[in-house]
Chain A
Amino acid sequence: MSPHTKLLTSLSLTLGTTITISSTHWLMAWAGPELNTLAIIPYTSKSHHPRSIEAAIKYFLVQATASTLLLFSSMTNAWATGQWDITQLTHPTSSLLLTVAIAMKLGLVPFHFWFPEVMQGSPLITAMLLSTMMKFPPTILLLMTSHSLNPTLLTILAVASVTIGGWMGLNQTQLRKILAFSSIAHLGWLAAVIIYSPKLALLIFYLYTLMTITVFLTLNSTKALKLPTLMTSWTKNLSLNAILMLTLLSLAGLPPLTGFLPKWLTIQELTKQEMAATATALAILSLLGLFFYLRLAYYSTITLPPNSTNHMKHWHFTKPTNTTTAILATLSMLTLPLSPLILAIT
């Protein structure tokens, strides 16, 4: 992509996110995600491959529909209550429609069907942006309206997302699809607590973003797109491979890694809210996700394949690992001891 296009699209992405998170009027809250959608289309379809273009079209159609629903919900609220303030979404139909619209944007079940295909069609860095940065504005919108959302609907979405994210990720061999399902599962955890403790939901989102960016940057350094490539990546960068294993286990939520913190705090919060059954269900269903993360980690790091790689891009691999990856990896594995500090602040 030419530098001008890159500048324009990256600035649009930043602008769209900033507009949404700092908005108080529903019109601005709608304009922000629309800007984001349009700005990420060139990134998704950069390689002009039919699958990339298919991913871009699918992404655009879904996000446009969700934005329409968002606008419709704000209009019904304005019709019923006479004001366009985001935090004052009091009409029940409007909040229902808003939840559905945000669920479509985030890829929560049952509106998740577009997400793995879009991730599979995009390049690795774009997939990273799709699963982290593009989820930020809808999460903030949910946060701002969290006091008026329907708890039953959100709990159903949450449990279904964790189930489907874990179940569908089991037999995937394409890494981007695996990370898509992991994203669906993590956002399910987020949706479970957003009403009861919005700050906790934000913490879950930040930690999930941190771990996901680490994984994507690691995969990007070896350009690994499928499981067999990951299996032979130990020859190219041994320490990064070991760190990848720990980061994946952190995503799975194993103590003593960072990923355990959001799950622990979510279960604690849900139990406080007399929802122990939901908490148990979420914890048991995450075992499915744990299974495939563990399998990924096992096959990438612990086993030694009988062959070496003949993946072309690896031959030109002379760059040392990015400092960013190293810092993010450290943060995504070792932040659990800081949990008293985090709990004191939030």
Chain B
Amino acid sequence: MALTVTLLNSAYLCGRCCSHKVLHPLLGPLLNDSMSKLYSSYRRPGSQPEKKPSWENTDFSFKKGINFLKSQLNMLKEETKDYLIGPGGYPLSQYLLEQTKVLWEFRSQEDLNKWVISSDVEIGGKSEVYLKLGRNNQAALLYGTLNTEVPRDGETKYSGYCSMRAKPPVGSFARKKYYDWSNFNSLYLRVRGDGRPWMVNIYTDPYFSHQKDDLYSYFMFTRGGPYWEEIKIPFSKFFLSSRGRVQDQQHPVWLDKISTLGFTIGDKVDGPFQLEIDFIGLLNDRAHTEEFAYETYEKV
């Protein structure tokens, strides 16, 4: 990206220097203003203005590099030790026998740092979302206000969503790791909502970029009461959508390579929302025998 920009910038400068009329028709669009032609000139209100190019942001401190290397090597050592024990760092017998597993629980600020919150501010909307620890550090509280007012940029039609998404697991030296949930068949959530319907999204981080927008989603309907709810969502119910559009060809989610889990609210109702999450876990529900809820006939 940086090289492309430099190339185009230099092409622009060269074009200014030489005044060959022959070259200009061919290089016209490139020479006018190279920066703005790389992407649309309209910058959405929620995104940060371009100040410094990313390659000028690097910090060449030697000490920081050494510390980074030490921390990564420590992580690598831990990973090797876990590898010697068994899959996921636990003995194989535990993997084979487990029927429940807690993935994320919210007891401290570090647990909150594993999640990222976002809302339609990034496209210019006015919803607000905040994440903090609940009472007695026993739960996470995701709260805010949903505002369905459409940003006036002429191209957006809908607005009003807030979401919380887990950060993908990262190994040593920033390698991507994946969760293996193939032993389980339902998601188990202990939540206390306010009656609003939420959408649970699973992202499997595919290898090729054409499928990077694929998301498997299902709904979580919360009760508003003062009592905690334990919601079980079987993985067979998750349907495939890509860039927000539900696909015609549905298939069950493959659980052996999951990257992140997320919650989204976008029920087109203006007003405050609140969701407390105690923990998110997995369950191998022996009573649930459905393999896939949609279109199970043989497709030729």
**Which A residues contact B (CB, under 8 angstroms)?**
1-2, 47-51, 54, 57-58, 117, 120, 170-174, 226-228, 231, 295, 299, 305-307, 310, 312
Name the interface residues of B279-293: CB closer than 8 Å to any CB of A: 286-291
Interface pair A173/B95, CB less than 8 Å apart:
yes
Verify if B182 is at the interface (C-beta below 8 Å from A). yes
30 contacts between A and B (CB under 8 A): A2-B300, A48-B251, A48-B299, A49-B251, A50-B204, A50-B211, A51-B206, A54-B207, A54-B211, A58-B207, A171-B86, A173-B87, A173-B92, A173-B95, A173-B180, A173-B183, A174-B182, A174-B256, A226-B182, A226-B183, A227-B96, A228-B96, A231-B96, A295-B92, A306-B97, A307-B99, A307-B286, A310-B286, A310-B289, A312-B289
Verify if B83 is at the interface (C-beta below 8 Å from A). yes
Interface pair B86/A50, CB less than 8 Å apart:
no
Known: A2-B300, A51-B257, A120-B256. 15 other contacts (CB 8 A): A50-B204, A50-B251, A58-B207, A171-B83, A171-B92, A227-B96, A228-B96, A231-B96, A295-B92, A305-B96, A305-B97, A306-B97, A307-B99, A310-B288, A312-B290
Verify if B4 is at the interface (C-beta below 8 Å from A). no
Verify if B249 is at the interface (C-beta below 8 Å from A). yes
Verify if B208 is at the interface (C-beta below 8 Å from A). yes
Interface pair B83/A170, CB less than 8 Å apart:
yes
> Shortest beta-carbon distance, B185 to chain A, in Å?
9
**Which B residues contact A (CB, under 8 angstroms)?**
83, 86-87, 92, 95-97, 99, 180, 182-183, 204, 206-208, 211, 214, 249, 251, 254, 256-257, 286-291, 299-300
Which residues on the B side are within 8 Å of A57 (C-beta)? 208
Which residues on the A side are within 8 Å of B96 (C-beta)? 227-228, 231, 299, 305
- Select from chain B the residue with minimum beta-carbon distance to A120: B256
Interface pair B208/A54, CB less than 8 Å apart:
yes
Which residues on the B side are within 8 Å of A58 (C-beta)? 207
Which residues on the B side are within 8 Å of A47 (C-beta)? 251
A294 to B129, CA, bound (A): 52
Which residues on the A side are within 8 Å of B208 (C-beta)? 54, 57
> Shortest beta-carbon distance, B130 to chain A, in Å?
34
Which residues on the B side are within 8 Å of A49 (C-beta)? 251, 254
A294 to B180, CA, bound (A): 23
A50 and B92 in contact, given A310-B286, A310-B289, A312-B289 (Cβ under 8 angstroms): no
> Shortest beta-carbon distance, A128 to chain B, in Å?
19
A37 to B121, CA, bound (A): 48
Interface pair A50/B97, CB less than 8 Å apart:
no
Which residues on the B side are within 8 Å of A117 (C-beta)? 207
A312 to B252, CA, bound (A): 14
- Select from chain A the residue with minimum beta-carbon distance to B97: A306
8 tightest A-B CB contacts, nearest first:
A171-B87, A50-B211, A49-B251, A312-B291, A54-B207, A226-B182, A310-B289, A173-B87
Which residues on the A side are within 8 Å of B211 (C-beta)? 50, 54
A172 to B256, CA, bound (A): 11
A61 to B183, CA, bound (A): 32
Which residues on the B side are within 8 Å of A305 (C-beta)? 96-97
A144 to B77, CA, bound (A): 45
Which residues on the A side are within 8 Å of B97 (C-beta)? 305-306
Q: Which single member of A48, A172, A231, A295 contacts B249 (CB below 8 Å)? A: A48
Which residues on the B side are within 8 Å of A295 (C-beta)? 92
